[in-house]
Chain A
Amino acid sequence: MDKKKEEKGLSSPMERREFLRKCGTLLAGGSLAAIGGVLGSRAKAAGGDTMWQIDPELCIRCGRCQTECVLPVSAVKCFHANQVCGYCDLCGGYYRANVKELNTAAENMLCPTGAITRRFVEEPYFEYTINEDLCNGCGKCVNGCSSFGNGSLFLQIQQELCLNCNECSISKVCVSNAIQRVPVSSAYKLKDKA
């Protein structure tokens, strides 16, 4: 009797539709739970959020950081490791190559935005400072310092400015794959904190 009733119930179009829908609900719920379970357990094990950062070891200063960032002025800035700097007067990151006179006239300056300033410390040493508000991440000074100096200037993504896009648009065109996701706990790759 019961079985007959059930058969009758299922043969009516509305009931059948409802039954199929319930099956679908269970199927959809099940697959969502499965995805959540698999990835949730793995996410817990891996842990933590990530941010984009440049590995200065890989960076070859191609100059794309300046133009490819989604921000009007790139979030990539030049950082300076004072602990590594030679404090030279003739600085490869400050002056253009083959300058005739070592003075701060505009034609002698390597930085196109005037973001690098220097202060006399004592004979013969100068302290160099980057003004991040002016820096556009072009990497010209980094190239100069790496070619003729200790490599104390290097490019980093300034995390306070970075929008942390789901896929960094600079990383898509970075010629040396230097931009990768790093854990928040080590969001900078600094040269003087080795």
Chain B
Amino acid sequence: MNTFLIARFPKPDFTSGYQYPEIVHGLPYETFWSWMDVAVLIIMLSIAAWAVHKRRSRGVLFTESVISVLYFGFYRSGCVCSVGSIQNVVLALNDSSYNLPLAVLLLFLLPLVFALFFGRVFCAGVCPMGALQEIVNVRNFRLSRAVTNALGFIPWIYLAFAVMYAATRSQFIICRFDPFIGIFRMGGDIGMIVFGVILLLMSVFMGRPFCQFLCPYGALLGLVSRVSVRKVEVTAKECINCTLCHNACPVDAIRPPHANRPEETRMTGVKRILLYLVILPLLTVGGALLMQSRSEVLAGANKDVRLMRMLNEYDAAPDEGMTAEVEAFYEMGRSIDELTVRVDATMLSFRHWSLIAGGIIGLALGCRLIRLSVKRTRKTYEIERAACVACGKCFNYCPQNKSKIKYEPQNL
């Protein structure tokens, strides 16, 4: 018999031959479904890679988007997804006692592996959040490049914070601030649903605001697809500089031809690179230290730290009444020493991880600044690897993909 049962009343001895009812509590086939998700993911990623690189078909990708929204979104209710799995993986790397299911690890790795070979085919039509925005998208209102570049840095900040809060076992902020899960589940936190609806309304007029300016997994996929084995190309034939793909791209990932004629000697180039090499570590260390100096504030997101602060507040002013947490703490007879030990450990890990998170932000900022100051010569329209979500809109606009006539490339 369990210890937590209080036998105030004896077990009744029935004389009428009463039988205890047999109650069976149902269990879903959780293991089956998690492997089903992995299987569907692999199939959809493979089809997307084929559609982007071989077939160059927007239709296939759009069909995949619809399937993804229906299956991963509405049917499977969106949890756990590849975007959120970043946090599980970080937590598992930091804390070996955390049990990371193999299926979740695969959800995290597979899109990155495909990105390494084929670019961001996961974003193309497999991710339900990207697919939902893609389906409703009608027009391409474009922000200026400066604004896009500034907003495009948000995912790195988001990623750094997500890593820090996951590693310190405080919160999964990517899941908490997921704008589309409420729409997929048709219920949930009203604030996030409103945010999701606003994002969807925005994505009617501009391409994928969430993917471009928020998604932390997109930042990782972009990083990997910079060095991908195969690059997403508008056409297999020669570009004729017709500008049609450039106008069609919803995420402004197609760069027009650009003549780069820097009037500098070799020495100035070398000096500039040296300057970058000095700035980059400075930004990294600066970011790390700045973030660490705020670690006390950041630790407020942790449940134990919050409880400790509530207890201190209650001790300072007992007349103001207990919060439910403080009441529970005393009711359960938990000791303050045990909590202090836990809070100290959490604060220490916050000091480490705020350093790492600040470092990530600083490093990403430095790399972005360097990238912005590097100008390259392009003779034709070229897709920028990191920004391209492989949605395939440009494929149908390119006359080279459609026509049997051979156009001669024009020199601009």
Beta-carbon contact of B100 and A39 below 8 Å: yes
- Taking a contact as CB atoms under 8 Å apart, the answer to whether B26 and A159 are in contact is yes
Contact B109–A86 (Cβ < 8 Å):
no
How does the 8 Å CB contact mask read for A156-194 relative to B, with 1 for contact and 0 for none? 101110011111010010011100010010011011001
**Contact A176–B332 (Cβ < 8 Å):** yes
Q: Would A86 and B9 count as touching, CB distance under 8 A?
A: yes
Q: A25-B229, A79-B25, A163-B77 are in contact. Are A149 and B9 (CB under 8 A)?
A: yes
Q: How far is the CA of A177 from the CA of B304 in the complex (A)?
A: 10
Report A-chain residues with C-beta under 8 Å of the C-beta of B175. Answer: 165-167
Q: When the two chains form the complex, which single residue of B87, B176, B328 contacts A60, counting CB atoms closer than 8 Å?
A: B328
- A122-142 CB mask vs B (1 if < 8 Å, else 0) is 100101010000000000000
B contact patch SS: loop
Q: Is the CB of A57 within 8 A of B4?
A: yes
Is B59 close to A, CB under 8 A?
Answer: no
Count contacts on B: residues with CB < 8 A to the other chain. Answer: 71
Q: For residue B93, which residues in chain A have a CB less than 8 angstroms away from its CB?
A: 35, 38-39
The residues of A that contact B34 with a CB separation of less than 8 Å are 49
Contact with A along B76-116 (1 / 0, CB 8 A): 01011100110111001100100111110100010011001
Q: How many A residues are at the interface, by size bracket? A: 35 or more
Residue A71 lies at the interface, judged by CB distance under 8 Å to chain B:
yes
A24-B226, A70-B181, A149-B8 known, 7 other contacts, Cβ within 8 Å: A35-B109, A42-B92, A48-B99, A121-B16, A166-B80, A166-B175, A191-B2
Q: List 27 A-B contacts (CB under 8 A).
A: A21-B226, A27-B227, A32-B112, A35-B93, A35-B109, A39-B105, A46-B99, A49-B34, A57-B4, A60-B332, A79-B23, A82-B21, A84-B5, A86-B8, A88-B9, A125-B18, A159-B26, A159-B27, A160-B27, A164-B79, A167-B175, A167-B176, A169-B189, A175-B325, A175-B329, A176-B332, A191-B5
Chain B residues with a Cβ under 8 A of chain A: 1-12, 14-16, 18, 20-21, 23, 25-28, 30-31, 34, 77, 79-81, 84-85, 87-89, 92-93, 96, 99-103, 105, 109, 112-113, 116, 171-172, 175-176, 181, 185, 187-189, 223-224, 226-229, 303, 324-325, 327-329, 331-332
